[in-house]
Structure 1
Amino acid sequence: MKKLNVRHALALSFCLSLFSFASYAQPEAKTDTLHIPKNVKVILDNSCFGCHNTDSRNDDAKEELDLKTLPQLSGTKRLVALKHIGEVIEENEMPPEKFLERKPEKALTDKQKETLIDWVKQESTSLLSK
């Protein structure tokens, strides 16, 4: 009778160990979210979203950056995308001159550029701290 109890205890202990390891080894659910403040969203909607979205007819722009899928990107990919956004804004590459010739109202003001760059830095820092 004692042998049976020892075997049961060992089996139970083994099962609990496996369960504990299995739950430890599971990847955590993705909890990071992309925070887009209203003032940033207004700028993106006005000057960026028309070309940089899944439904855009501008294949090059949506391939370069799709703002609709930005929140679903993994941490590293999102970090790269945010870095790219900051760079093209700092270098005055976006919106492109050709586009602005047709739609000058889409040009970014210095204040809007600063707002977007600050947002990119904030989101990047947030991602790196996780």
Structure 2
Amino acid sequence: MKTKITLNLLFLGLFTLSAAASDTEKSTYYSPAQMSEEVKAVVQNKCFGCHNTDSKNDKAKEDLDFKTFDTLTNLKKVSAYKKIGDVLNENEMPPKKFLDHYPDKKLTDAEKKLLMDWAKTEAEKLVKGM
């Protein structure tokens, strides 16, 4: 009986630690299944610093928060994907003022195209599913 209780407590503890670890991982980086490794790399290296819940840039995280993106309704996701495409197409992201301080965050033409194509494809999938 003691062995059974001990094993149950051990499994409960391991389950709790495992859940806590996965929650921590989820909250540090946006990585939905629909994002290719290439897109994830660009988002992580060029966008995530400002566009996440923990950012000090309130406007950026209010406009787009990659940590909470999956919690949006499909309609809001479609809108967000459209906005991503629009600001990239209009060369508004990253902002010039930001790039003056962090020139390494400038998107290459290939990275911009990759993000725009990703946003368009994901928006189209969601619209078809509505």
TM-score, normalising length: structure 2: 0.73
Match in the other structure for 2:117? 118
When the two structures are aligned, how many residues end up with a matched partner? 98
Match in the other structure for 2:38? 39
- Does residue 71 (structure 1) correspond to residue 75 (structure 2)? The answer is no
- Structure showing greater radius of gyration is 1
Match in the other structure for 1:128? 127
Q: CA deviation at 1:34?
A: 5.8
Q: Quick check: which one's helix share is greater?
A: 2
- How far apart in 2 are the matches of 1:121 and 1:42? 18
Provide structure 2 residue ranges, at least 5 long, that are not aligned to the other structure: 1-31
Identical positions, percent:
50
- How far apart in 2 are the matches of 1:91 and 1:76? 23
RMSD between superposed Cα atoms in Å? 1.1
Q: What do residues 67-98 of structure 1 show as CA deviations (whole Å, max 9, x unaligned)? A: 11112211100000110011000000000001
Match in the other structure for 2:94? 95
For the residue of structure 2 that corresponds to 1:129, the secondary structure is helix
Q: CA deviation at 1:129?
A: 1.3
- Does residue 109 (structure 1) correspond to residue 86 (structure 2)? The answer is no
Name the aligned partner's letter for residue 105 of structure 1.
D
Provide structure 1 residue ranges, at least 5 long, that are not aligned to the other structure: 1-32
TM-score, normalising length: structure 1: 0.73
Q: CA deviation at 1:55?
A: 0.4
